[in-house]
Amino acid sequence: MDIVTLPSRSVPVLAEADICVAGGSCTGVFAAVTAARRGARVAVVEPQNRFGGTATASQVCYWHSIFNLDYSRQIIAGMTDEILHRLDRRGQVDYADGPDPSWYARLNTEELAIELDELVVEAGVLPFLHTRAVDVWRDADGRPAGLLVAGKGGLGVLKAKYLVDATGDGDICAAAGAEMWRNPSLQPPTACAKMSRWPEREVGMFELGKWIHAEAERYRMPEGMIWGCPTPGKNTFMLAGTKIPDADLSDPAELTAGEIEGRRQIRAIQDIVAGHGLPRPVLEALPSLIGIRDTRHIRSLYRLTTDDVLYGREFPDTIARGTYRVDVHSQNPPGTRFLYLDGTEVFISPDRENEATRWRPEGPAPECYNIPLRSLIPAGFDNLISAGRMIDAETGAYGAVRVMVTMNQTGEAAGNAAYEALDKDTGIPEAAGL
């Protein structure tokens, strides 16, 4: 790649905050609001026109269980609960009839975006939409002391004592020089789509998978698990039916190609459905950001292992809990492997009935798994913390903890950890006693 050198230039300081959060998904907003409610001056930067990340920009609408494994005790509360209550008051969330490993709550994600606006405004967080963090800004000693951002007005700096990287891909940790790693086989990205006139009664997801399997070559469709659901209000159906194999969407060229290929596949699915003599589903809304499952992870103070998750290991610095199964989408063989805390293992493939086995013999199961704060702190940094999917977790562990009810908690934990450090005027690990 050709390199050019820009002449040195001055850029405006857009704000001076105590804590600056890069990335405004629920994870990032929860980090920002948590710290702001405790009294910190907080800014949050988000490239989309709205907050919510994968939930809003990428249309992913299911939140999973907030209870322990046998549903006898609620284990997740905080801002996840708060958002559910706020949406529920407006009738914008549907709940599963009973315990269901596939979902607990189904959100109207358009309404979620407005709810997140309100949270940010109420907490006095300084928002920067249509703004991307492009680098870390360093003080004279070379220490991270803010973000270089690119927005509608060009480049600018947000100064901050503490940085929270909630960009999903770990853009800020990588820019700061933190050690990053990738799973050997990345889970594929998926472009979701909202459709009306979706033939829900005529074709179930397994049937659709078989249709796609039969026409995979003609339509150049990669295979794998497909899911979808009606959105609250039932006017549209959200379909997660596409996938981009072997793509790392933290790479700008692959991100561009992935967006275009995802939309091509959405159209191919409409064609496949219409080709079976059904009315062509009407495309009502495309995502403004392809759904990204897995890219870069940080090397932290502790890598969460798959056994930690499956056996429910406890930690002195636990900051998040969950019960969602290990859920790893693979391309070879195409399908999704689920490992449940109760020992069950299920492999769902596009054209065969589910295969249920066990990954361990019958026996007592943990009530949940736990995530330590250490898995969010990049090794070697004291004023930078991550939140969200760049968490330091092995492939299987990541397959479980990547869901939103868990990622939300990492946001709140990062906001709290940064606030504690600010309050004690020290580093994040030290403030947490690590």
Ligand X SMILES: Cc1cc2nc3c(=O)[nH]c(=O)nc-3n(C[C@H](O)[C@H](O)[C@H](O)COP(=O)(O)OP(=O)(O)OC[C@H]3O[C@@H](n4cnc5c(N)ncnc54)[C@H](O)[C@@H]3O)c2cc1C
Residues that bind ligand X (CB under 6 A): 22-25, 27, 45-48, 53-54, 60, 62-64, 132-133, 166-169, 171, 190, 192, 240, 289, 291-293, 388-389, 402-404, 407
* CB-based burial label for 371 (10 Å; 0-12, 13-18, 19+): buried
CB of 64 to ligand X, least distance (A): 5
CB of 290 to ligand X, least distance (A): 8
CB of 324 to ligand X, least distance (A): 7
Q: Are strands 193-196 and 237-240 parallel, antiparallel or unpaired?
A: antiparallel
Residue closer to ligand X, measured from CB, 102 or 217: 102
Q: DSSP class of residue 104?
A: S
CB of 208 to ligand X, least distance (A): 16
Q: Is 387 within 8 Å of 378 (Cβ atoms)?
A: no
Q: Give backbone dihedrals phi and psi of 226, rounded to 5 degrees, phi first.
A: -120, 140
Q: What does the longest C-alpha to C-alpha distance in the chain come to?
A: 67
Residue closer to ligand X, measured from CB, 123 or 150: 150
CB of 45 to ligand X, least distance (A): 5
Return the axis-axis angle of helices 404-424 and 26-37, rounded to nearest 10°: 30
Residue closer to ligand X, measured from CB, 292 or 319: 292
Name the residue number minimizing CB distance to ligand X. Answer: 388
- Cα-based angle 402, 294, 350 (whole degrees, multiple of 5): 90
Closest CA to 20 of 176, 142, 180, 172: 172
Strand arrangement of the beta sheet that strand 227-230 belongs to: 227-230, 237-240, 193-196, 282-285
Task: Count Cα atoms within 13 angstroms, Cβ side, for 233.
Answer: 17
CB of 394 to ligand X, least distance (A): 16
Task: Quote the CA–CA distance of 25 and 120 in Å, as a whole number.
Answer: 12
CB of 364 to ligand X, least distance (A): 27
CB of 168 to ligand X, least distance (A): 3
Q: In one letter, which amino acid is 47?
A: P
How does DSSP assign 336-377, residue by residue?
EEEE-TTSEEEEEETTEEEEEEESS-S----S-EEEEGGGGS
Residue closer to ligand X, measured from CB, 39 or 95: 95
Task: Count Cα atoms within 13 angstroms, Cβ side, for 149.
Answer: 32
